Amino acid sequence: MKESLTLLIKLQTVDSELMELEEALGDLPTQVKHLSRDLETVHQVTGEKEARVQEVEKEKRSLRAKIDDTQVQLKRYKDQLLVVSTNRAYDALTTEIDGADKMIEDGEFHLLELDEEDQRLTDELKEDGLKAEAMGATLGTQQQQLKEALASTEQRSKALGKKREKLVTRIKPRFMSSYERIRAAREGRAVVNLSRGSCGACYNRVPVQRQMEIKAMDRIIICDGCGVILYWDSD
């Protein structure tokens, strides 16, 4: 039993250090993930707006050409009106002229609408561009920080990972599963030392007789208060 307990204590030491390494990264990994996703959204929206600007430009060109053609046509109708000889032809021409006038008026109004849309999109794209630039700069800094933080802990965490693997193979499966279960329930701490006669996790007082049993390491002793495995820290 002594050996099993000793191995569990060692395993906890390794796991605690691994947790510390992870905590040292803070919420940087999450920040990087969220910012990358937000930036991607901005890029996507920008792409859609740029496509719409192209469409608007095309619509404006074709509408202008149509208005120009109609104006040429209108002038021709008006010239013909001067030389028309019958009432019937006169009426037909005035109908054409009215139609052309209306087309030009509607067309010019729609051109104004397209101009407004064009302007709005251009302004928004400018804003989005500045926003994306700022986000990109922050993301770059964060990614660099994360890279450096990972690089500084990588070697240590690899070494700890190997040490953990070796320890796990030497621990009996039933102890291992208890360990993992307690660890999951107690924020990563399954094996905790006695601290001045109390549980080091919940500070529940441990009777002297029990303290002696813990020190003897003949069996696994669980804290009545929080359920962690207690051990005697000789230091």
Q: How many residues contact Zn ion, by CB under 5 A?
A: 7
Which of 158-163's residues contact partners 24+ apart within 8 Å by CB, and which partners?
160/14, 160/17, 160/18, 160/21, 161/18, 163/14
For the chain, the first-to-last Cα distance in angstroms comes to 21
| Residue 225 sits in the site that holds Zn ion (CB under 5 A) | yes
How remote is the C-alpha of 125 from its chain's centroid? 22
Q: Which ranges of the chain does DSSP label H, i.e. alpha helix?
A: 2-24, 28-83, 87-170, 173-185, 208-216
Closer CB to Zn ion, 141 or 204, in the complex: 204
Kindly report the backbone phi and psi dihedral angles of residue 200, in degrees, each rounded to the nearest multiple of 5, phi listed first.
-70, -10
User: Considering only 25-33, 91-99, 177-185, 218-226, which stretch makes contact with Zn ion by CB under 5 A?
Assistant: 218-226
Residues 168-207 that bind Zn ion (CB under 5 A): 199, 201-202, 204
Contacting residues for 162 by C-beta, under 8 A, at least 6 apart: none
Closer CB to Zn ion, 195 or 204, in the complex: 204
User: Considering only 79-87, 128-136, 146-154, 219-227, which stretch makes contact with Zn ion by CB under 5 A?
Assistant: 219-227
CA distances from 15 to 6, 18, 61, 70 (A): 14, 5, 68, 81
User: Considering only 12-20, 42-50, 96-104, 222-230, which stretch makes contact with Zn ion by CB under 5 A?
Assistant: 222-230
Closer CB to Zn ion, 139 or 230, in the complex: 230
| Residue 221 sits in the site that holds Zn ion (CB under 5 A) | no
| Residue 220 sits in the site that holds Zn ion (CB under 5 A) | no
Least separation in angstroms between CB 230 and Zn ion = 7
Which spans of this chain sit near Zn ion (rule: CB under 5 A)? 199, 201-202, 204, 223, 225-226
